C-alpha cells in the first residue's frame, strides 16, 4: 500500500505539468502567421540597421556612406519613414500586417 501511495505522489506532478503545458503555449499575437512573424522580425532588423548606420556613420559624412552602410548590412527592406526610436515595435507591427 505504501509503495502505491509513493508511486502516485511521484507521478502526479509530472502528469499535472504535462497536461497543463498546452494552456501556457498560447501565442500572444494571433494575427501573425509565420509570414507575419518573418515580416515583423525583418522590419525590426531593418530598423536596427537604420539606427546602427545613422549612429555609426559620422554626422558630417555624406548620405552615400549611410546608404552604403544600410546596403552592406542588408537593411532597407522597409521604408523607415515615420518611425522613431519610441514607436519602432508598433511601426513594425503595422508594416508586417500590411505585407
Cα dihedral: 13, 14, 18, 21 (round 10)? 50
Q: Is the pLDDT of residue 46 over 70?
A: yes
Assign 90 a pLDDT band (cuts: 50, 70, 90).
Answer: very high
Q: What's the rounded Cα separation, in Å, for the pair 7 and 94?
A: 53
Q: What's the rounded Cα separation, in Å, for the pair 48 and 66?
A: 13
Q: What pTM was computed for the model?
A: 0.61
- Quick one: pLDDT at residue 2? 65
507591427: which residue's cell? 93
- Quick one: pLDDT at residue 8? 55
Amino acid at each position: 500500500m505504501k509503495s502505491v501511495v509513493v508511486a502516485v505522489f511521484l507521478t502526479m506532478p509530472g502528469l499535472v505539468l504535462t497536461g497543463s503545458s498546452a494552456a501556457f503555449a498560447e501565442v500572444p499575437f494571433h494575427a501573425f502567421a509565420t509570414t507575419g512573424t518573418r515580416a515583423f522580425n525583418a522590419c525590426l532588423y531593418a530598423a536596427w540597421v537604420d539606427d546602427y548606420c545613422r549612429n555609426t556613420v559620422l554626422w558630417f559624412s555624406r548620405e552615400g556612406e549611410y546608404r552604403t552602410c544600410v546596403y552592406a548590412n542588408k537593411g532597407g527592406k522597409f521604408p523607415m519613414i515615420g518611425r522613431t526610436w519610441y514607436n519602432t515595435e508598433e511601426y513594425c507591427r503595422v508594416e508586417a500586417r500590411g505585407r
